[in-house]
A and B are shown apart, each in its own frame.
Chain A
């Protein structure tokens, strides 16, 4: 059974897409209203950051808008949206992780030099924030970006193996293997398995 968000994506009519291709911004807004739930949810679960997810959503729809004229209905529109969303969210997440690693390296240098009162307070705040995060979101953080994208598209969005393989441009056996490793890691992190 399709989730409500996927049902909305299914409702996008070819006529609406053609109108948007002709530059009708009202038609493009209808596409946005129907697809933004999927795009934002995937972006949010992959990046685990609201600000970043909003930027990903904005980026995805501008990419769709710019490339809409070249869309020739050879593949389904929703598959194309899945692919653009997954790629954009994964790239944002990988960039964010690199930036975070650089920042953590910097933080560790500061920590070894002198731990001021303010830094201690910051650490306590961070721990508090970490504790407030939902258990599942923390679990998702334990996965590598590729496993994370596969599990988000399958478990949260309900895409089939075929759809995930198209969205991530990988073969079905790779989809299967990423899901298996992701679930093994989640099961182990949640206290068993």
Chain B
């Protein structure tokens, strides 16, 4: 390998410890015999790599975490805040109390049972009696009307005095 190729490898795999054992040994052998490449390698380490590696590692100020935490908490609060629809439903529920489904179901069953009870139970018979009485009463009234009508017809002689009196 010529010096140009050697210096390219020095600038990358060699200085970064990524070169294979064979390649590293080859470069080291060249550095022993080539002063130009040796100076190049030394300059690269002293003026570029070492000063950069010495730059301090810094932690962010505490305020950064406080801002992150604040943003997360704000998002969580928004996530769990009730929507307009939920708030409207709550308002309606409070204004017009509605039983929960389990109570609504039991209420509906109760209403059906009561209706059945009144339609097929003892009260149903009372209704039949009531209907029967009403029916008979209407019959009596109609009978009375017809009897009176017939009497009127039977007893009328269609005389002048009847017409005058009645």
In the complex the two chains form, is A40's CB within 8 Å of B60's CB? Answer: yes
55-72 of chain A: CB within 8 A of chain B: 57-58, 61-62, 65
Selected contact of A54 from candidates B11, B43, B49, B60, CB within 8 Å: B60
In the complex the two chains form, is A32's CB within 8 Å of B44's CB? Answer: no
B94: min CB distance to chain A, Å: 31
27-77 of chain A: CB within 8 A of chain B: 28-29, 32, 36-37, 39-41, 44-45, 53-54, 57-58, 61-62, 65
- Inter-chain CA distance A41–B52, complex, in Å, is 13
Q: Does A3 contact B (CB under 8 A)?
A: yes
Q: Is the interface of A mostly helix, strand, loop or mixed?
A: helix
Nearest A residue to B68 by beta-carbon distance? A61
Q: Does B8 contact A (CB under 8 A)?
A: yes
In the complex the two chains form, is B55's CB within 8 Å of A58's CB? Answer: no
In the complex the two chains form, is B48's CB within 8 Å of A40's CB? Answer: no
A31: min CB distance to chain B, Å: 11
- Inter-chain CA distance A186–B52, complex, in Å, is 11
Interface residues on B, range: 20 to 34
In the complex the two chains form, is B52's CB within 8 Å of A136's CB? Answer: yes
B9: min CB distance to chain A, Å: 9
CB neighbours of B1 from chain A (8 A)? none
Binary per-residue interface labels of chain B (76-117) against chain A in the complex, 1 for a CB within 8 Å, 0 otherwise = 000000000000000000000000000000000000000000
Total interface residues in chain A, CB < 8 Å: 40
In the complex the two chains form, is B59's CB within 8 Å of A40's CB? Answer: yes
- Inter-chain CA distance A156–B72, complex, in Å, is 31
**With A4-B57, A36-B60 in contact, do A193 and B43 touch (Cβ < 8 Å)?**
yes
B49: min CB distance to chain A, Å: 6
Select the residue from B8, B53, B57, B69 with max chain A CB neighbours within 10 A.
B57
A interface residues, Cβ below 8 angstroms from B: 3-5, 25, 28-29, 32, 36-37, 39-41, 44-45, 53-54, 57-58, 61-62, 65, 136, 151, 154-156, 158, 160-161, 176, 179-180, 183-184, 186-187, 190-193
Offer 22 A-B interface pairs, CB within 8 angstroms, sorted by A. A25-B69, A25-B73, A29-B65, A29-B69, A32-B68, A40-B59, A40-B60, A41-B57, A41-B58, A54-B61, A58-B68, A61-B68, A62-B68, A62-B72, A176-B12, A180-B8, A180-B11, A187-B44, A191-B47, A192-B43, A192-B47, A193-B40
